[in-house]
């Protein structure tokens, strides 16, 4: 029996595959590589010493997806595949709705057809919209403010309806806060296309000299230093949360949402100061205007995951910054491998 990991070549996916393999699971990976590299999967094997089946296909490719369920005994699914850039989702919403929602519907239809009714879904704290009541609990009001967040919210609702129609489904909805950091080996990490949207990959590219300075989006929020506060969680802690959620869906039925965060918030300037302290590198920055759509403060109450999954985040922001820096310095061009770099000379 195997665990199907959709989006397994991505930032969260590759780290989750390492934890699954190290825990003794057999896995099958599906990823269309639209925002990831197959190199990450070679490194998953390098780090775990384990081989696994990989299919470079899209979830919307129904014949190929059915082939996977025909050729492998899939026991459960960890569903991470999806487009995830908030800004991009505003300019090309139909691409996000087709890829994220239609892809999820095809996946669930095939799961139903093959009697596979256990799934862990990669949701996001963006489903809480502009909730400024912190710490945020799972029963906080939901309301996304962009197409990306709405795809996550709609998929959560689709899965809830699926369970209403058939109570033998077992579904965990994992609401990620802000994943950062990298595997301690420096062999896996976040490899954004082009100029990073997110804070930590931007910081590491400034620190390595790839970008001139960090734009700090606003210093007039109601926070200690005026800059935005977020709940940063180490990607390895996040990956381990998927294992705990998988164990839960394997032994129960029902639908439950869980916040995966640390329960602590740090401001942008606190992250810059921490990064500079632990790496010894300077991160020049300039205060800029607020980024449209940003909220001032967002951090989780993760006690439901601790209570019901037996999961808690262990790694602090020092380790998150150090591991991010190790990934950046060991992979200045992300997953572009040497022979590709040589070919570009
Ligand atoms: C963090 C803080 C910015 C960049 C996003 C998605 C969310 C999730 C995680 C998928 C904010 C500030 C950032 C920069 C800055 N992704 N910042 N300068 O916006 O909290 O969440 O990523 O699920 O869906 O919305 O993360 O890293 O972009 O921003 O000042 O160059 O850093 O204003 O306060 P965010 P982020």
279's CB contacts (< 8 A; 6+ apart) are: 207, 321, 322, 325
Q: What is the pLDDT of residues 262-282, one digit of tens each?
A: 999 999 999 999 999 999 999
Quote the pLDDT of residue 336: 87
pLDDT tens-place string over residues 290-301: 998 899 999 999
Q: Using the atom order of ligand 1, give the atom closest to the CA of residue 216.
A: 30
Q: What's the pLDDT at 293?
A: 85
Residue 287 pLDDT greater than 90, yes or no: yes
Q: Which residues line ligand 1 (CB under 6 A)?
A: 84, 86, 124, 126, 176, 178, 197-199, 202, 214-217, 228, 230, 268, 291, 294
Strands of 151-302 (E only): list them: 170-176, 178-180, 214-217, 229-230, 232-234, 254-260, 266-267, 285-288, 297-298
On whether the CB atoms of residues 241 and 174 are closer than 8 A, the answer is: yes
Output the CA 114–ligand 1 centroid distance in Å. Answer: 38
Choosing from 228, 292, 299 the residue with most ligand 1 atoms within 8 A of its CB, the one to mutate for a pocket test is 228
Distance CA 301, CA 138 (A): 8
Give the pLDDT of residue 147. Answer: 95
Report angle CA 236, 240, 244 to the nearest 5 degrees.
170
**Cα 272 from Cα 129, distance rounded (Å):** 25
Could you tell me the two tokens for 300?
Answer: 């989780």
Instruction: Check: CB of residue 159 under 8 Å from CB of residue 324.
Output: no
Is residue 344 predicted with pLDDT exceeding 70?
A: no
Structure tokens, 229: 């506060």
Mean pLDDT of 176-200: 96
The number of CA neighbours under 13 Å toward the Cβ of 30 is: 28
Q: pLDDT tens-digit profile of 48-104?
A: 999 999 999 999 999 999 999 999 999 999 999 999 999 899 999 999 999 999 999
pLDDT over threshold 70, residue 343: no
**96 backbone dihedrals φ, ψ, rounded to 5°:** -70, -45
Indicate whether 340 pLDDT > 70: no
- The total number of residues shown for the chain amounts to 345
Active-site residue, 299 included? no
Q: What is the mean predicted confidence (pLDDT) over 108-112?
A: 98
Name the closest-CA residue to atom 23, ligand 1: 124
Q: So what's the pLDDT on residue 130?
A: 82
**Average pLDDT of the segment spanning 321-333:** 97
Residue with tokens 């099958």: 28
CATH class of the domain comprising 2-336: alpha beta
């Amino acid at each position: 029996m195997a665990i199907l990991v959709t989006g397994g070549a991505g930032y969260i996916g590759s780290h989750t595959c390492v934890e699954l393999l190290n825990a003794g699971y057999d896995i099958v990976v599906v990823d269309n590589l639209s925002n990831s590299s197959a190199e990450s999967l070679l490194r998953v094997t390098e780090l775990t010493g384990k081989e696994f089946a990989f299919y470079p296909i899209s979830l919307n490719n129904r014949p190929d997806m059915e082939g996977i369920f025909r050729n492998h005994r899939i026991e459960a699914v960890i569903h991470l595949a999806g487009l995830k850039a908030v800004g991009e989702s505003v300019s090309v919403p139909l691409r996000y709705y087709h890829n994220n929602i239609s892809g999820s519907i095809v996946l669930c239809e095939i799961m139903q057809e093959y009697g596979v009714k256990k799934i862990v879904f990669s949701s996001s704290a963006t489903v809480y919209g502009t909730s400024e009541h912190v710490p945020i609990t799972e029963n906080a009001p939901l309301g996304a403010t962009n197409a990306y967040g709405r795809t996550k919210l709609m998929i959560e609702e689709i899965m809830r309806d699926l369970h209403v129609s058939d109570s033998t489904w077992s579904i965990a909805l994992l609401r990620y806060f802000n994943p950062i950091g990298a595997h301690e080996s420096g062999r896996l990490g976040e490899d954004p296309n082009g100029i990073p949207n997110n804070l930590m990959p931007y910081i590491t590219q400034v620190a390595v000299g790839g970008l001139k300075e960090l734009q700090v989006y606003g210093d007039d929020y109601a926070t200690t230093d005026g800059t935005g506060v977020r709940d940063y969680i180490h990607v390895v802690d996040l990956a381990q949360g998927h294992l705990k959620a998988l164990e839960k869906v394997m032994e129960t039925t029902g639908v439950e949402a869980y916040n995966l965060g640390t329960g602590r918030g740090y401001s942008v300037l606190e992250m810059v100061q921490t990064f500079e302290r632990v790496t010894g590198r300077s991160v020049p920055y300039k205060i800029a205007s607020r980024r449209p759509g940003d909220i001032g403060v967002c951090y989780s109450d993760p006690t439901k995951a601790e209570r019901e999954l037996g999961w808690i985040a262990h790694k602090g922001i020092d380790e998150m910054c150090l591991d991010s820096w190790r990934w950046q310095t060991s992979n200045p061009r992300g997953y572009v491998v040497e022979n590709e770099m040589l070919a570009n000379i």
